[in-house]
Amino acid sequence: MSGLKQTRGRQMVGTIAKAVAIAVLGSAGIAQANGASGSTPYPEALNVAPNTHWFASWQENTNPAPADFFATPFANNGTIPFVQNQMTLSANAGRPLGIKINSPLSSGNAANLFNTKYGIGKKAISYIFGDFEGGNGSYDSDPAVRAARLAAIKALVNQVRHNGQWSQHAYVGEFALTPLNGVGFGNKQDPTRRGPLQYTNSDYQSSGVNMANTDLYPGAPNYRNRSTFDWANANIRTGLFVAPIGRETAVQLAIGENNNNKDPKGNNVSNQDRQIPWVTRFNNSGNSSLDSNGNSGDGYRFIPAQPLPQAGLSSAQTSGQMLGRGDFSSQILHYRMRGVYSVNLFEPGVVGYTPAQQEQDVRDGWYGASDPHVAHTNNIFAQKDAQAATMTLNPVVDGTSNKTGIRSENSGTIWSGEYSKNLKQLDILASNLDTVNHLIKFGSVDAYDVFTLRGTGAHANDTYDDGSLLSLSRNALIEAGMHRLLQFDLVSTKVYSKSNFSGSYKTKTIWLLNQNYLVFGNNSGRGDTGIPEPTTFGMLAAAGSMAAICRRQRRKTA
């Protein structure tokens, strides 16, 4: 780190620290003076299947927001009247209330924001997305900057939670602040990360936040990939797809463990932490390993079908290695099946790919806005007993799983699912981002074996299990680069010991395949050019300088 960067970092730390001190010291008296009467509301729901689904977006700061999205304007000491006007408009439109905060608030402004009843419904601000910066933008290298950020988020939590605030039950989070402890394959560890964590579980707990805003940016430099020689698959695309799912899964498992120490019944929504990650189709800001011409001075551009010499990859090896639109929609459904409560969209990061298209891809993945097969899955989520079918990153692929590492990494293949025993239905999304076909075995879900083949004629409702590792009755073929949605029924049927449905059999209750669909097939975009952020990339091209964009890019590449 240069001396100039160190100086700039210390100046920003001092600015944040001063504002934090004012916020903490001044909050108590003002909160008491403006204390809300009556019972303070709990956060408004973002996700109640089948019909309630709200998402946030970096781009959506004003009303009217697009369908399924709610405005989250930036709240700082100079924007309070504007933000409050947007909150009133959101409330009167029947939408949840949320804001983004990237600099400390004065105690007076915080009280105005969090102790106001908005609109005709007297709503409270329910979702607060912290995004504190400072220093030279390196999230890991400067302890003083990191400490200042933590102090800022703690002060914000104090401002929100203080007794009497109308928004005291709100969900509050900070970009990349999650309950993980380290890097690796163990409990509360990130199995996908390059470099150290930005924050730890201790930071998460001590800050008082109750929302994990995990950074899930395919292409970010803090993910392992083939381009950095530490990903166990020869294809870039597998890392772009599987690694964010791996990080999301690790965070969700950690949240589940923390929630068990709170209110396992989840009677009050504010007693249960939520994961609402920042997501995008692509963002390679600061990632020289995915900069096709190796010149960060003109912006980071990953151009499929062009050589990537720093990664030792030819143009043929990078061809088709960007995530397509269908891949992004599939990723969204995997996130949902693995427990995320909603998502917060960042800028699209792909040339020619608009925010409106990215928003549509979220709708398609989350609840099947354009696909009745995915809408079937959304109906399973609506059941009171709906549960995730798996959280594994180590599925059985081609008859094997890994003793070390994660099989989804070296095979590029992963599955997720949702099921309801009351409904007697199980939907599984299986994705293969590799360049070769794979067979995937689903094992059992809730103690019931999963079978992927049924007979014909007199045996139309029967199946078999001959015990072989690659038996077609227990494995599903997922073609290279494809996503399949498999729909199962919970049935009691005959399971024969031979594939010709002869010999002995047992009558068992099993998950038996009903339908098998190709989904999320809009993947012509796998040849698209990936960039850090469309807005900032355009600024860079016009100005010919990194100075104009360094803050925005650093903010979203923890």
pLDDT in tens, 347-395: 999 999 999 999 999 999 999 999 999 999 999 999 999 999 999 999 9
pLDDT value of position 134: 59
Q: Answer whether residue 14 shows pLDDT above 50.
A: no
Give the span between the Cα atoms of 491 and 2, in whole angstroms. Answer: 66
Is there a contact between 284 and 291 (Cβ–Cβ < 8 Å)?
yes
Listed residue (102, 103, 98, 133) closest to 113, CA to CA = 98
Residue 537 CA to its chain's centroid (Å): 23
pLDDT tier at 38, thresholds 50, 70, 90: low
Which stretches of 226-354 are assigned E, i.e. beta strand? Answer: 274-275, 278-279, 344-345
If DSSP states are collapsed to H, E and C, what string results for 498-513?
Answer: CCCCCCCEEEEEEEEE
Q: Which residue has the tokens 């100075």?
A: 547
Residue 114 region, left (φ>0) first, then alpha (ψ -120 to 50), else beta? alpha
Share in percent of the chain as helix, strand, coil (round to 5): 35, 20, 45
- Rounded Cα distance, 443 and 112, in Å: 54
Per-residue pLDDT tens over the stretch 495-512: 999 999 998 999 999 999
Q: What does the DSSP 8-state code read for residue 449?
A: E
C-alpha 228/C-alpha 289 separation (Å) is 6
Look at phi and psi of residue 47 and say left if phi exceeds 0, alpha if psi is from -120 to 50, else beta. beta
Q: What is the pLDDT of residue 143?
A: 80
> Minimal CA–CA distance to 149: which of 136, 132, 128?
132
Q: Which residue has the tokens 């860079």?
A: 540
Mean pLDDT value of segment 6-28: 38
Backbone angles phi, psi at 294, to 5 degrees: 65, 20
Type of residue found at 278: W
Ramachandran angles phi, psi of 313, nearest 5°: -115, 135
pLDDT in tens, 430-469: 999 999 999 999 999 999 999 999 999 999 999 999 999 9
Q: Tell me the residue type at 191.
A: P
CA 155 to mean position of chain CA atoms: 26
Q: What is the mean pLDDT of residues 274-287?
A: 96
Instruction: Tell me the DSSP string of 29-78.
Output: HHHHHTPPPSPPPPPPPSEETTTEE-BEETT--SSSPPTTB---PBP-TT
Confidence category of residue 524, pLDDT binned at 50, 70, 90: confident
The closest alpha carbon to 180, from 275, 281, 262, 266, belongs to: 275
Question: What mean pLDDT is reported for the chain?
Answer: 87
Whether cis (ω within 30° of 0) applies to the bond prior to 64 is: yes
Q: Are 212 and 178 contacting, i.e. CB atoms less than 8 angstroms apart? A: yes
DSSP β-bridge partners for residue 513: 488
Burial of residue 67 (CB within 10 Å: 0-12, 13-18, 19+) is exposed
- C-alpha torsion 327→329→334→337, nearest 10: -160
505 pairs with which residues across the strands? 496
Structure confidence at residue 202 (pLDDT): 95
Neighbouring C-alpha atoms within 13 Å toward the C-beta of 371: 25
Q: What's the average model confidence in pLDDT over 136-154?
A: 75
The answer to whether 187 and 145 have CB atoms below 8 angstroms apart is no
* pLDDT tens profile 41-74: 999 999 999 999 999 999 999 999 999 999 999 9
DSSP label at residue 123: B
Give the C-alpha separation, 382 to 378, whole Å.
Answer: 7
pLDDT value at residue 141: 56
User: For residues 463 and 92, what is the distance between their CA atoms, to the nearest angstrom?
Assistant: 55
Q: Are the beta carbons of 217 and 280 closer than 8 angstroms?
A: yes
Whole-angstrom CA distances from 58 to 18, 74, 558 are: 27, 9, 16
Instruction: State the amino acid at position 220 in one-letter form.
Output: A
Q: Nearest 5 degrees, angle CA 13-CA 177-CA 154?
A: 55
User: How crowded is residue 504: how many other Cβ atoms within 10 Å of its Cβ?
Assistant: 8
pLDDT at position 182 over 80? yes
Residue 396 contacts by C-beta under 8 Å, 6 or more apart in sequence?
A: 407, 440, 441, 443
pLDDT at 295: 82
Q: What is the DSSP letter of 432?
A: E
pLDDT at 269: 54
Tell me the pLDDT band of 29, cut-offs 50, 70 and 90: very low
Q: Supply the pTM of this predicted model.
A: 0.90
Query: CA-CA distance, 306 to 541, in Å (whole number)?
Result: 20
556 vs 300: which has the higher pLDDT: 300
Measured CA to CA, the distance from residue 127 to residue 138 in angstroms comes to 26
Give the residues across from 429 on adjacent strands: 416, 485
In three-state secondary structure terms, 302 is strand
Weakest-pLDDT range from 20-24, 147-151, 410-414: 20-24
Residue written as token pair 């599939």? 330
77-87 burial string, b = 16+ CB within 10 Å, else e?
eeebeebbebb
Number of Cβ within a 10 Å radius of residue 448:
18
pLDDT digits (tens, 9 = 90+) for 229-255: 999 999 999 999 999 999 999 999 999
CB 414 within 8 A of CB 248: no
The percentage of the chain sitting over the pLDDT mark of 90, rounded to a whole number, equals 78
Contact 54, 47 (CB under 8 A): yes
